Amino acid sequence: GDSVTQTEGLVTLTKGLPVMLNCTYQTTYSPFLFWYVQHLNEAPKLLLKSSTDNKRTEHQGFYATLHKSSSSFHLQKSSVQLSDSALYFCALSDQGGRALIFGTGTTVSVSP
């Protein structure tokens, strides 16, 4: 079946450094890919979304490019801030284009 894989469970880094969170997926159709961010005690919020191959999408300093050839949608930021400490989920929408299939999430912890 369809699946999303996030290889890092926890990423710890210092403020100002770059970060990349891996996301790969398996599906037989052409999906929408999403990144959601969840800060402590808050609801998950959409960070990025894409369905277009090889097009970079950006928001709030984060960016990702959907590569259908490698089934990847890695999240990057060139310089993390303390406020970026959160749980990040990669997800794809199913064949009906409605329900989301999530990865297990990556916790990012940024220190001063």
Partner 1 sequence: DTTVKQNPRYKLARVGKPVNLICSQTMNHDTMYWYQKKPNQAPKLLLFYYDKILNREADTFEKFQSSRPNNSFCSLYIGSAGLEYSAMYLCASSSGGGAEQFFGPGTRLTVL
Q: Which residues between 25 and 84 bind partner 1 (CB under 8 A)?
A: 32, 34, 36, 41-46, 49, 51
Residue 57 contacts residue 6 (beta carbons within 8 Å): no
How far apart (Å, rounded) are the C-alpha atoms in residues 83 and 69?
33
**DSSP assignment of 39-68, as one string?**
-TTS--EEEEEE-STT-EEEETTEEEE-BT
Q: Count the site residues for partner 1 by CB under 8 A.
A: 25
Residue 93 C-beta: closest distance to partner 1, Å: 5
Residue 104 binds partner 1, judged by CB under 8 A: yes
* Nearer Cβ to partner 1 (15/107): 107
* Closest CB 81 distance from partner 1, rounded Å: 23
- The smaller minimum CB distance to partner 1, of residues 3 and 78, is found at 3
Angstrom CA distances, 50 to 11, 14, 30, 53, 89, stand at 24, 28, 11, 8, 14
- Exactly one of 103, 106, 108, 110 binds partner 1 (CB under 8 A); that residue is 103
